[in-house]
Structure 1
């Protein structure tokens, strides 16, 4: 039964032409270095901005606590001067 269902197919090329595919880099080494340098500069800039924001936050935090402490000292001095004035009379 296999002999009755067997088919032989011969594939023949009509031409002797050969197609050759080549690949070239889509980006040159100069472009690659430029891109890497640009991205590095961008990340350094972002990092610098983050550091400056951190410095600003610390400055504001220190200034806030300084004003609170200064206000407490002024109130204490005013209370002491008021007590001195009231004890004189």
Structure 2
């Protein structure tokens, strides 16, 4: 049976709310002070580090018909070459 493996890498990084403008906006929006916003609010981004997908498949290099065809082709080539060699030798002997 084929196996499936999914592995997710993780990386944690954090930073405070970058500027006072953002803190002021959130403080007004949620009725809190800027210090409370800086210490208690969180922006969470979850994303893939890379969007690569790799599929590994195993396939037969040869099926039986292809293997027999290749063997037959090689045998035909060698038999043809052998017959030509014998005929060349006979031709040489006949001429000498």
Q: TM-score, normalised by structure 2?
A: 0.42
Q: From the CA coordinates, give the structure whose radius of gyration is larger.
A: 1
Taking structure 1 as the reference length, the TM-score comes to: 0.45
Which structure has more RCO (C-alpha within 8 Å, separation ≥ 6)?
2
